[in-house]
């Protein structure tokens, strides 16, 4: 028994940092990857920053839909800031080490922002459901106080599970290797490095992903089933097209984010490789935040007009 305890203590003291392998197997492309990641991050900051500004200052965009979009853009910035700056710094300096504590903090905030984004996407679907399926009571129900409560609820709901999950994961022993075959600290690659039986923590991870991602996704699905049923009953084709156009941008963002995220977290490791996992993680951590402003701008006349007015000021 004493020998086991000493071994555990030794294991804990050995792993003081992880090495993020990332795309280190492509040494000739490190400068190119640095440029790409930096460009993506700057695009995310500028694009989502513009969405935040115009939905705040333009009087025509003071509706619940744009209120939620403003908070969604802010979360997108926070979500990518947790991972991208370290990624392009690693490619620039070739120093891929990340301390035990820094890895835990990165994972915790990554999961919190990701969970908040899932819940907020569900709230945005509910907003579209109320606007299309219950238009007469929309302004009464979706008032400013209720919208603020919904956003606060998204933030609060997304905190407990990631905190507990991070604590459980970093309570494990990492004794075999500190080489993390990923682009940032994420749950699946960390569990692959852990020693001993991780079944309970894996079950907790699946349960956490179910509560934070699958349930919001099902809520979005139910909302859009009802929305589509209501749209089909509209008498004119123009009315149906206008109603659906208010939802199309949100649907595209939901498909990008949840599609890659669910595959990454729920597809068995025996089917997907580590390289595929890296690419999928880049899709839901960079592609969605980068394309979000573009999707909402190109498919929304109000946002286009607000951007034009803002540009000529």
Higher pLDDT residue, 291 or 105? 105
Task: Please report the pLDDT score of residue 126 as a whole number.
Answer: 93
pLDDT mean over 104-128: 92
Question: d(Cα 193, Cα 211) in Å, to the nearest integer?
Answer: 25
Task: Please report the pLDDT score of residue 130 as a whole number.
Answer: 92
Question: d(Cα 153, Cα 160) in Å, to the nearest integer?
Answer: 12
pLDDT mean over 136-140: 89
Whether residue 308 has pLDDT greater than 80: no
Task: Please report the pLDDT score of residue 1 as a whole number.
Answer: 43
pLDDT mean over 137-160: 93
Pairing of strands 179-180, 97-99: unpaired
Overall number of domains in the chain: 1
Show the domain range for 293: 2-311
DSSP-derived letter for residue 28 is G
Let me know the angle formed at the C-alpha of 107 by 86 and 207, rounded to the nearest 5 degrees.
Answer: 150
pLDDT mean over 107-116: 92
Task: Please report the pLDDT score of residue 49 as a whole number.
Answer: 92
Higher pLDDT residue, 194 or 117? 117
Question: d(Cα 259, Cα 255) in Å, to the nearest integer?
Answer: 5
Task: Please report the pLDDT score of residue 299 as a whole number.
Answer: 63
Mean pLDDT, the chain, integer:
81
pTM, 2 dp = 0.85
Identify the weakest region by mean pLDDT among 45-49, 184-188, 192-196, 275-279: 275-279
DSSP sequence for 52-73: HHHHHH-GGG-SHHHHHHHHHH
pLDDT mean over 34-59: 88
Question: d(Cα 96, Cα 41) in Å, to the nearest integer?
Answer: 19
Question: d(Cα 68, Cα 160) in Å, to the nearest integer?
Answer: 22
Comparing CA positions, the residue from 83, 7, 98 lying closest to residue 44 is 83
Higher pLDDT residue, 4 or 85? 85
SS3 of 276, please? helix
The domain spanning residue 245 has which CATH number?
1.20.1070.10
Task: Please report the pLDDT score of residue 280 as a whole number.
Answer: 75
HSE at residue 117, side-chain half, CA atoms within 13 A, is 27
Higher pLDDT residue, 179 or 264? 179
| 114 burial level (CB within 10 Å; 0-12, 13-18, 19+) | buried
């Amino acid at each position: 028994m004493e020998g086991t305890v000493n071994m555990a203590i030794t294991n804990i003291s050995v792993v003081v940092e992880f090495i993020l392998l990332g795309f280190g197997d492509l040494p000739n492309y490190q400068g190119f990857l640095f440029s790409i990641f930096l460009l993506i991050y700057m695009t995310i900051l500028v694009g989502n920053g513009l969405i935040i500004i115009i939905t705040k200052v333009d009087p025509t965009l003071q509706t619940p839909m744009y209120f939620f979009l403003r908070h969604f853009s802010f979360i997108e910035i926070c979500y990518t800031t947790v991972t991208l700056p370290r990624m392009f710094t690693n490619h620039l300096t070739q120093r891929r080490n990340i301390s035990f504590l820094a890895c835990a903090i990165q994972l915790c905030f990554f999961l919190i922002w990701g969970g908040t984004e899932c819940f907020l996407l569900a709230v945005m679907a509910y907003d579209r459901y109320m606007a299309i399926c219950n238009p007469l009571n929309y302004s009464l129900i979706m008032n400013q106080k209720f919208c603020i409560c919904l956003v606060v609820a998204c933030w609060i709901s997304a905190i407990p599970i990631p905190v507990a999950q991070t604590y459980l994961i970093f309570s494990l022993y990492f004794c075999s290797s500190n080489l993390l075959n990923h682009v940032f600290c994420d749950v699946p690659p960390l569990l692959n490095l852990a020693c001993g039986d991780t079944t309970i923590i894996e079950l907790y991870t699946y349960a956490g992903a179910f509560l934070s991602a699958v349930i919001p996704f099902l809520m979005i699905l139910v909302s859009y089933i009802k929305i589509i049923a209501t749209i089909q009953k509209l008498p004119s084709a123009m009315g149906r097209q206008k109603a659906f156009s208010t939802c199309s941008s949100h649907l595209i963002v939901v498909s990008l984010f949840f599609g890659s995220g669910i595959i990454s977290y729920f597809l068995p490791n025996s089917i997907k490789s580590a390289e595929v996992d890296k690419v999928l993680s880049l899709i839901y951590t960079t592609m969605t935040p980068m394309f979000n402003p573009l999707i909402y701008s190109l498919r929304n006349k109000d946002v286009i007009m607000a951007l034009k007015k803002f540009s000529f000021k």
